[in-house]
Chains A and B, each alone.
Chain A
Amino acid sequence: MHGLFYLSVFIFRDYNRRFRLIIQFSILVIVIGLFFNYHYAPYSYHYIALGKSIFLMMISLLTTYQLSKSNYNRRLYILLSRVSRKELSLSLILVAFIIVVFFSIILDLYLLLLAQIESEMLLNPFYLTANLIIIFLSVITTYLFSYFTVKRELIILSLIFLVLGSIPEWYIISPLTWLLKGISWLFPPLSLNILALVNKQGSVGLFIHSVGYGLLALFTALILIKRKSFSDLPTD
């Protein structure tokens, strides 16, 4: 645990010093300017819940992708001679999760202080839990199809999984509904969590389903990284 903590701090400081967080800050400013402009406040809870879910998914995708890309190079040999691939994966996921939570808090603070949202609306445990689950699922799904786990060409799957996972019953638009419905469980249950957040109606079953999916995706990612060959890493 001790090593994992310092590895996470090390990865975060390296990431931060490359000025990568500037993109997340830019997205935050654009989202605030376009969708949560305080001149037009107050906004409805439904609108905020939906907008913030999409924002969290975007930031999770971007941060996890950047973290995996910026660490997938020859510098990795120094880290892998000290920690296991499992520890490295957990650190990357943890750092991505914390960065997204940080941006989630910044947006919430903005909504509370400037966009005149009532604190009961955003600070209730249900809202916080749903936000954390959306971040957790998005980060893990992106990592599942990252440089560390799959071939470069398959990284696009993370975007596909996130998009399809966030659209409720996406499979009904296809003539192969019966087939696609059968495999829909493979996609992260983001839509159910977004709907639960918007409608303020969650359930223990959904919570278990979400955490279970996240753990299964994490387990799969750990198997994939264990089998990945790091013999020919890029120079940068």
Chain B
Amino acid sequence: MICVKDLFFRYPGKRHDLLRGIELKIKKGSITGLIGINGSGKTTLFQILLGILRAEQGLIEIAGYPLAKLPKELVGFLPERPYYHGNFTLKEYLYYLGKISSRQVKEEELEQIIATVDLAGYCNQYIRSFSKGMLQRVGLAQTLLHQPELIIMDEITSGLDPIGQNQLKEIILRIKQSGTTVLISSHHLAQIEQICDQICLLHNGKTRTLTQEYFKIKNRYQLILEGKEEELKEKLQHLSTHDKLVLNKNRLTFEFSNDQEYFDILSCLLKAKIKIINMQANYATLEEIVLKYLAEEGDG
């Protein structure tokens, strides 16, 4: 669906290339996540794919078309910050965007799209009165409007509460079922890991496809404990496994090298009568992923 080869880009007036030989291959009907630290060039890469910025060098093909000849209706875009024409009602806005895309969107189809993004009760309200979460869903509706083959979503979960994030996740999975290819960027690594078929790290101007093991640090758990930080610190100090525990407020993180160590740590906590409210496998942070990547690059 997307094939990017040897892509270079530099902002005018800057000394160094932001993108230095990007290689990217995305299969049709898949969800690909693009991760990277702030300023790594994710939005820039998206803007190049959308034709908003022009690359100095490189080959880009989307759905078999070279970028310069790509029909606009094949691609939908959900920008990071939801800025829309607030002086239109939701229905008017989507109606016009459909017409601008040269696609006849029937009344029922429009209502179905609005229902898909859970905004059915807001058809005749002005967009300027919408909350940030609602604006993100307006953005999704406008991308679905012309039934594009590829949807690009930039930092989709920024500013959304957990409920909004879950709704968005479900909508993205529904979009995938219809055969649409999705390319998303997000800092929410756990979510990216859950919904994406392929994850790429953009770092130092280059991309690298990551495997699952990059994300889950198998031997690390995070517990949420009952009690105040000071009391918990006091109790933990006396444990034999104390040096393996990291406490931050009431969140306790620990790593273990084998099963015996895992049981030892848990039994110590229970013996000390520390109540565990929640327990979950810990995901690697973006920094840890980047460090692992850099270490491997160094080894290579």
Q: What residues of chain A have their CB less than 8 Å away from a CB belonging to chain B?
A: 2-3, 6-7, 9-10, 13-14, 17-18, 73-75, 77-84, 229-231, 235-236
Contact = CB atoms under 8 A, between A and B. Distances in A.
Interface string B64-95: 00000000110111010101110110000000
B12 interface: yes
Contacts of A18: 87
Given A2-B102, A3-B101, A230-B52, A81 B75 contact: yes
A10 B100 contact: yes
Interface of B: 11-12, 44, 47, 50-53, 72-73, 75-77, 79, 81, 83-85, 87-88, 96-97, 99-102, 142, 146
A78 B11 contact: no
Contact of A3 (B11, B77, B79, B102): B102
B146 A80 contact: no
A170 to B, nearest CB: 35
18 contacts: A2-B102, A7-B100, A10-B96, A10-B99, A10-B100, A17-B88, A73-B83, A75-B85, A77-B50, A77-B79, A78-B77, A78-B83, A81-B76, A82-B72, A82-B97, A82-B100, A230-B47, A231-B11
Contacts, number: 76
Given A10-B100, A80-B50, A229-B12, 6 more contacts: A17-B88, A78-B83, A78-B84, A83-B72, A231-B11, A236-B83
Nearest to B53: A231
A235 B83 contact: yes
Contacts of B99: 2-3, 6, 10
Contacts of B53: 229-231
Contacts of A82: 72-73, 97, 100-101, 146
Contacts of B52: 77, 80, 230-231
